[in-house]
């Protein structure tokens, strides 16, 4: 009977067997740690090489929870054509209580357009292949069940024409990066559209199920409170950096579902703490609070590792008891990797104050 319940949930969700029924993309609470997933214009925004890993376990108290994994790597260098960056993104998701699995592998490219010394813009595109699998043999229908002996009959439901689909998918985005004259406030603001051509993800040849476009708008700031490290401190390890605040907001809209996340992270002594309020609206409101903690380790000059963990606390009564969501992220940054002999990048972590002004739009500020 449990499998029968799962099958019902699946059909109510999205298995793309019913025309006009569509699902939504998975969402990460730590959206600032998965920037390429939301906007390809983030590719190569800061010089150097970055690798990002994220894993999310949503509603772990359910019999079948939802697991999502994300990986991206991007490289920014002003010697590249277009002076932007190039990146790779991989996302794996289990839908419909694990009866649908999908894998997306995409290439991202960006072009950098300087406006002033303190303002630059970037435009990015994503070209990806998406593959979806329907685990049809794991489904159990009511005509297969015997009241006494359980699942002993054959289902009369006809399997779909295809239980595996592969199709191209494209996204586009743009953003603006800026910094004030004093160099203590920087930020980004941008927007993106994913699934631009709404590819057909249906498993049936007689019906179409277009993947709905996703619209994203986002902005965040990095505010440094206080002065930089003094000569008596060890700037390479980052302990002498000023307190940094990183407020941000992201809004998403896809097929009638809207999602809003607003909150702030802070960094001091290489420790991260943060909190976000999340609200999702689809046939009713669902709210949660995300709490975050993490640590940054300076391995060497120009090389850092960041580990962050967050937990979503469900506020809405309709989702209480699901167990919220666990999410972990690992970010590895190689800041001094570049093409050619000419360097466009100074040593970013723990820079002296006069160095910050020379490279403030090239280094990752948070």
pLDDT value at residue 258? 93
pLDDT value at residue 139? 66
For residue 168, give every residue at least 6 positions away whose Cβ sits within 8 Å of its Cβ, in sequence order, or none.
127, 128, 129, 130, 199
DSSP notation for 285-310? EEEEEEEEEEEEEEEETTEEEEEEEE
Q: What span, in angstroms and rounded, lies between the C-alpha atoms of 241 and 226?
A: 9
CA geometry: angle at 42 spanning 36 and 47, to 5°?
120
Q: What span, in angstroms and rounded, lies between the C-alpha atoms of 77 and 126?
A: 18
Q: What span, in angstroms and rounded, lies between the C-alpha atoms of 266 and 264?
A: 7
Q: What span, in angstroms and rounded, lies between the C-alpha atoms of 290 and 94?
A: 22
End-to-end CA distance of the chain: 49
Residue spans per domain, the chain = 2-359
User: What does the block give as tokens for 317?
Assistant: 């009564």
- CATH of 2-359, picked from 2.40.160.40, 1.10.3210.10, 1.20.1070.10, 2.60.40.740, is 2.40.160.40
Nearest Cα residue to 62 out of 358, 325, 347, 361: 325
Q: Please, what are the averages of pLDDT over each run of 10 residues along the chain (366 residues)?
A: 39 39 78 97 94 92 82 91 90 74 94 91 97 73 70 69 87 96 92 96 82 97 76 57 94 94 96 95 82 94 93 85 90 85 48 42 70
Q: What span, in angstroms and rounded, lies between the C-alpha atoms of 13 and 315?
A: 22
Bridge partners for 279 per DSSP: 260, 287
CA geometry: angle at 31 spanning 347 and 295, to 5°?
50
DSSP notation for 141-173? -GGGEETTTEE-S---SPPPS-SEEEEEEEEEE
Three-state SS sequence of 258-291: EEEEEEEEEEECCEEEEEEEEEEECCCEEEEEEE
Q: What span, in angstroms and rounded, lies between the C-alpha atoms of 126 and 109?
A: 7
């Amino acid at each position: 009977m449990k499998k029968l319940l799962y099958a019902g949930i699946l059909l109510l969700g999205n298995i793309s067997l019913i025309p006009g029924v569509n699902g939504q993309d998975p969402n990460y609470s730590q959206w600032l740690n998965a920037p390429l997933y939301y906007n390809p214009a983030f590719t190569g925004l800061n010089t150097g090489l970055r690798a990002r890993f994220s894993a999310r376990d949503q509603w772990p108290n359910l019999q079948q929870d939802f697991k999502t994994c994300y990986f991206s790597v991007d490289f920014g260098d002003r010697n590249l054509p277009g002076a932007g960056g190039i990146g790779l993104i991989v996302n794996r998701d289990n839908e419909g209580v694990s009866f649908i699995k999908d894998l997306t592998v995409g290439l991202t490219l960006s072009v950098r357009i300087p406006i002033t010394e303190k303002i630059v813009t970037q435009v990015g595109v994503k070209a990806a292949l998406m593959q979806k699998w329907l685990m049809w043999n794991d489904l159990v229908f009511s005509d297969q069940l015997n009241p006494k002996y359980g699942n002993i009959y054959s289902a009369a439901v006809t399997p779909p024409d295809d239980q595996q689909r592969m199709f191209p998918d494209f996204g586009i985005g743009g953003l603006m990066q800026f910094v004030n004259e004093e160099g203590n406030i920087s930020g980004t603001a941008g927007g993106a559209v994913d699934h631009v051509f709404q590819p057909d993800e249906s498993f049936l040849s007689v019906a179409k199920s277009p993947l709905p476009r996703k619209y994203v708008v986002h902005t965040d700031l990095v505010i440094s409170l206080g002065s930089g490290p003094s000569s008596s401190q060890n700037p390479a390890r980052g302990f002498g950096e000023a307190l940094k605040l990183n407020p941000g907001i992201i809004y998403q809209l896809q097929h009638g579902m809207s999602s809003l996340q607003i909150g702030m992270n802070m960094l001091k002594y290489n420790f991260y703490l943060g909190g976000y309020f999340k609200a999702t609206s689809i046939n009713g409101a669902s709210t949660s609070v995300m709490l975050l903690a993490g640590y940054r380790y300076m391995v060497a000059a120009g090389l850092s590792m960041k580990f962050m963990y967050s937990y979503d606390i469900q506020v809405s009564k309709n989702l209480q008891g699901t167990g919220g969501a666990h999410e972990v992220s690992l970010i590895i940054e190689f800041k001094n990797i570049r093409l050619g002999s000419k360097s466009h990048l100074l040593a970013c972590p723990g820079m002296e104050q006069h160095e910050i002004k020379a490279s403030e739009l090239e280094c990752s500020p948070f």
